[in-house]
Amino acid sequence: MIDLAPSIYRQRLVIEAYPREEISAEQITRYLAGLAPVLDMKALIEPVTHRSDTFGWAGWTHWETSGAHFYAWEQPILFYSVDIYTCKAFDPLTAVEYTKEFFDSDDAVYKEF
């Protein structure tokens, strides 16, 4: 993909894993609120969550330097996916370790873009 805006720094990270138990709205809110200081980001709003009866939970937080989305499934398996997009550099391994520890996941896969 051609970088159409090389003068604008962008960093993306997707983290996916299996939680040990179903994830609640309260957990998503705490996770996203805690992710900001872990990555040294300034939160502009409290995290927002919403539940789809078909697809499960989603959450979002807005940072001064972009934000993060969170998705949690209960069916057909317990699974979650985090999408972090920032205009400020952060350590991806810090995000992965925080996420694994928060949700007590044995392992996680991740990819930077």
Alpha carbon distance 14, 12 (integer Å): 7
Q: What is the pTM of this model?
A: 0.95
Q: Per residue in 57-86, pLDDT tens?
A: 999 999 999 999 999 999 999 999 999 999
The residue assigned the tokens 């499960």 is: 56
CA pair distance 20, 90, nearest whole angstrom: 27
| Domain 11-112: assigned CATH number | 3.60.90.10
Q: What is the pLDDT of residue 91?
A: 98
- Integer angstrom CA distances of residue 46 from 4, 12, 15, 26, 67: 31, 21, 21, 12, 11
User: pLDDT tens, 10-53?
Assistant: 999 999 999 999 999 999 999 999 999 999 999 999 999 999 98
Can you tell me the mean pLDDT for 94-110?
Answer: 98
Name the residue ranges covered by the structural domains of the chain.
11-112
